[in-house]
Chain A
Amino acid sequence: MNSAFQRNLALLHRFEDWLLTALVVFMVLLAGAQILLRNVFDSGFAWAEPLLRALVLWSAMLGAVIATREDQHIGLDFIGRWVSGVKLRIARFIALTFAAVLCGLMAWHSWALVQLDLEGGTEGVLGISAWMLELILPLGFGLMALRFLIRSVLPPKSHELLPEAGA
């Protein structure tokens, strides 16, 4: 990989991290504000509920994208204890290429979903159409497909223990 590509990749990683932070902080503040409005002032935003649900999907998909680049997806993980070296790299290559293909297929199918609601004009929330809210699916699965391809040829990342898990 050349350095310009790596720089762009690092930039993309930073962008994902910051977008995720922004979405989650907004989610916490909006959900918190909604409780205050509802319970103290007997009011609230009608759009808060559907928007919060969209935020959950977006931040979950971004989380899954980042999980891919960090080798953190949930799965049976005993292969790493049975084999190592070249054999492990081959196992990784097969398993993660399969995941890449699945994500690629899902990107394709969820793009069809976006088009379906684009044609149907299904309403979303706050004037944002449903297809725009759905965009995260082809985007997320597409990025995950690319990431799995990249990860499939790279050595596994060692999961550094969180301080609380290693205490």
Chain B
Amino acid sequence: MIWLLIGVLVILAALGAPLFAILGAIALIGFHMAGQEGIAVAVEFYRLSDMPALIAIPLFTLAGYILAESKTPQRLVRLTNALVGWLPGGLAIVAVLACTLFTAFTGATGVTIIALGAVLYPALRQAQYGEKFSLGLLTASGSLGLLLVPSMPLILYGVVAQQFQTTPPVSIDALFRAGVLPCLLMVVMLGLYSAWHVRDVARPQRASAGELWAALKDAAWEIPLPFVILIGIYSGKLAASEAAAATALYVLLVTVLIRREIKLSQLPQVIRHAMVLVGGILVILGFSLALTNWLIDAEVPEKLFQFLRTHIPESNPFLFLLALNIFLLVFGMLLEGFPAIILLVPLVLPVAVRYGIDPVHLGIIFLANLQLGIFLPPLGINLYIASARFRQPVMTLVRAAVPFFLIMLAATLIITYWPGLSLWLAR
């Protein structure tokens, strides 16, 4: 019976049924089999309005769409070209850095693809980088930055982990310090690959001082934006949701009222485009909340983990870490960052400590793997977000992301099996 249902849902998904409807159906069937009323799914879905951090998604998306419809991407291309365009893979490196910082701020990887993809994709294409390379780079870079201060998933891991009173203790500060080098490793590896990959793309000559000044002046309204967000969040003056609001308001005022690159009459259309995407993502999130709740109630992750545990002797942490990598990858793909952390940390942490793994190191392993799972085919959510954002079939994104996935997998393995990289700054 269950296999029949799964088969039907797989066929429906293949026929082009929306992902949210598939998740909704699984949730309704799951709750029904657990003897619950369908209203329970509606109650879970309504928890979308219980999440204060969620507002960052529509606000950053709107800001991204407005910037995308204005001449900002062109100005950014001009400026970055003038600054580092002469480096091998210069713009790709800029893209990796920008995506890393953005995700660290928002804690949301999909938002990065949405908001920065709009700016970076045309810029990369304009700089003659291949379509597949550009799509893959942006899809992968979306999740880069989860390891970097002040990433919210990192904080969340700390809060959950601290309940276990481990020795050595897990402090948020230690996590922040621990994440720096692993994040840097990923950035450097992606940057090197990019520089190598685009070695044949014609490199423009170093820009003249006059051009650099002109490009700076041209982008005068955009340049303060990252600094306001950066200083706002690092100084503790702005929460992520506030930074999102400040960004949206600033971009709206500059583009519509000061520069007038988008006419007031065009605004409803831009808003509609942005919110169609946000709506599409949030209905999926709503049903994934319901699904997660059902998983918790049916103790599915726990049973899965128990199964895993009986096959690995306590004396073999290497094997445990390998299993953990696979486990986290799959669950990261299925569950997304926040639910995955809330759900899995309480299960994994006590066992990992018994295998002799430092809980701070475990946090970095956790997020590095989730970072990969978020764009792991076939269900990694960022593949779908990038697909919607760039209006490309999911299969195209999957293929484009493969080389980047392999590089980040290599980085994740280094991070997993080399505790010193995480712990050097932390302890």
> Contact residues of A with B, CB < 8 Å?
17-18, 20-21, 24-25, 27-29, 31-32, 34-35, 38-39, 49, 52-54, 56-57, 59-67, 70, 72-81, 91-92, 94-96, 98-99, 102-103, 105-106, 108-110, 112-113, 116, 133-134, 137, 159, 161-165, 167
In the bound complex, how far is the Cα of B15 from the Cα of A161, in angstroms?
23
In the bound complex, how far is the Cα of B386 from the Cα of A74, in angstroms?
10
Q: Is the CB of B246 within 8 A of A75?
A: no
Question: In the complex, what residues of A have CB within 8 A of residue B69's CB?
Answer: 163-164
Given the contacts A63-B277, A109-B41, A116-B39, A77 and B393 also touching, CB distance less than 8 Å: yes
Q: Is B171 an interface residue (CB 8 A)?
A: no
Q: Is the CB of A66 within 8 A of B276?
A: yes
Binding-face segment, B43-51, B175-183, B295-303, B356-364: B43-51
In the bound complex, how far is the Cα of B238 from the Cα of A52, in angstroms?
17
In the bound complex, how far is the Cα of B274 from the Cα of A66, in angstroms?
11
Q: Is B192 an interface residue (CB 8 A)?
A: no
Q: Is the CB of B394 within 8 A of A76?
A: yes
Q: Is the CB of B58 within 8 A of A59?
A: yes
Query: Which secondary structure dominates chain A's binding surface?
Result: helix
Question: In the complex, what residues of B have CB within 8 A of residue A164's CB?
Answer: 68-69, 73, 118-119, 121-122
Question: In the complex, what residues of A have CB within 8 A of residue B395's CB?
Answer: 78, 81
Q: Is the CB of A74 within 8 A of B18?
A: yes
Q: Is the CB of B20 within 8 A of A74?
A: yes
From A52, A95, A113, A162, give the contact of B17 (CB < 8 A).
A95
Given the contacts A94-B12, A98-B17, A163-B69, A106 and B281 also touching, CB distance less than 8 Å: no
Question: In the complex, what residues of B have CB within 8 A of residue A63's CB?
Answer: 272, 275-280, 282
In the bound complex, how far is the Cα of B39 from the Cα of A56, in angstroms?
21
Q: Is the CB of A162 within 8 A of B68?
A: yes
Question: In the complex, what residues of B have CB within 8 A of residue A66's CB?
Answer: 272, 275-276, 279
Which of B12, B68, B394 has the most CB atoms of chain A within a 10 A radius of its CB? B12
Q: Is the CB of B39 within 8 A of A53?
A: no
Question: In the complex, what residues of B have CB within 8 A of residue A39's CB?
Answer: 237-238
Which single residue of chain B is at the shortest CB-CB distance from A59? B275
In the bound complex, how far is the Cα of B73 from the Cα of A73, in angstroms?
26
In the bound complex, how far is the Cα of B37 from the Cα of A66, in angstroms?
29
Write the nearest CB–CB distance from A88 to chain B, whole angstroms.
Answer: 9
From A29, A52, A92, A159, give the contact of B16 (CB < 8 A).
A92
* Binary interface encoding of chain B residues 390-421 relative to chain A, with 1 for a CB under 8 A from any of its CBs, else 0: 11011100000000000000000000000000
Q: Is the CB of B391 within 8 A of A94?
A: no
In the bound complex, how far is the Cα of B17 from the Cα of A28, in angstroms?
33
Q: Is the CB of A113 within 8 A of B249?
A: no
Question: In the complex, what residues of A have CB within 8 A of residue B51's CB?
Answer: 53
Write the nearest CB–CB distance from A146 to chain B, whole angstroms.
Answer: 15
Question: In the complex, what residues of B have CB within 8 A of residue A17's CB?
Answer: 268, 272
Q: Is B426 an interface residue (CB 8 A)?
A: no
Number of A-B contacts (CB under 8 A): 232
Which of B16, B41, B249, B385 has the most CB atoms of chain A within a 10 A radius of its CB? B16
A-B contact list, 15 entries, CB within 8 Å: A28-B62, A32-B248, A56-B58, A60-B58, A63-B277, A75-B384, A76-B394, A102-B25, A102-B28, A106-B41, A112-B37, A164-B73, A164-B121, A165-B118, A167-B125
Q: Is B348 an interface residue (CB 8 A)?
A: no
Which single residue of chain A is at the shortest CB-CB distance from B22? A75
Given the contacts A29-B249, A39-B237, A109 and B39 also touching, CB distance less than 8 Å: yes
In the bound complex, how far is the Cα of B118 from the Cα of A15, in angstroms?
28
Q: Is the CB of A98 within 8 A of B14?
A: no
Question: In the complex, what residues of A have CB within 8 A of residue B389's CB?
Answer: 165
Write the nearest CB–CB distance from B287 to chain A, whole angstroms.
Answer: 9
From B24, B42, B245, give the contact of A113 (CB < 8 A).
B42
From A116, A134, A167, give the contact of B122 (CB < 8 A).
A167
In the bound complex, how far is the Cα of B273 from the Cα of A70, in angstroms?
10
5 smallest CB-CB distances across A and B, nearest first, come from A63-B279, A31-B245, A63-B275, A64-B279, A32-B249
